[in-house]
Every structure is written in C-alpha cells, then in structure tokens.
Amino acid sequence: MKASELRAKSADELNNELVELRRAQFSLRMQVATQQLNKVDQLGKVRKDIARVNSVLAEKAKQA
C-alpha cells in the first residue's frame, strides 16, 4: 500500500482501513503466539501500513 493511494481516499475510508489493519495485526500476533505464522515479515508490513494510514489521517486533519 502506497501513501499516494491512501491520500486519494476519504477520512472515513482511511478509518475503515485502519480498523481492518488493526484486526489483521491482532490476528498475526495470535498466529505468532501459537507458532502458526509462516511469513513473519507480514507483521512488520502491517505495522508500517498502520503507520502510513495514521500519517495520512494526520495530514488530512492538519489541512482541515
């Protein structure tokens, strides 16, 4: 997910995206805890996506 793609979305869409990413993060953390996760790099990717969404939301709030 790129920041340019996120900037094209509305604040409501970004909030929904953030909720989905946090659910995915929780699911991945549970998979790590139960040793069922094969691709451990997915957790880092989700964390970075959450940070990107938060950054774009902050930009939009600052502009408004």
Domains plus CATH for the chain?
Answer: 3-63 (1.10.287.310)
What would the mean pLDDT of 54-64 be, rounded to a whole number?
93
pLDDT range class, residue 1, cuts 50, 70, 90: confident
pLDDT of residue 31: 95
Share above pLDDT 90 across residues of the chain, in percent, rounded to a whole number: 89
Write the secondary structure of the chain as one string of H (helix), E (strand) and C (coil): CCHHHHHCCCHHHHHHHHHHHHHHHHHHHHHHHCCCCCCCHHHHHHHHHHHHHHHHHHHHHHHC
Spatial distance between the Cα atoms of 13 and 22, rounded to a whole number of angstroms: 14
What would the mean pLDDT of 8-12 be, rounded to a whole number?
94
- With 90 as the cut, is the pLDDT of residue 3 above it? no
Tell me if the pTM is above 0.85: yes
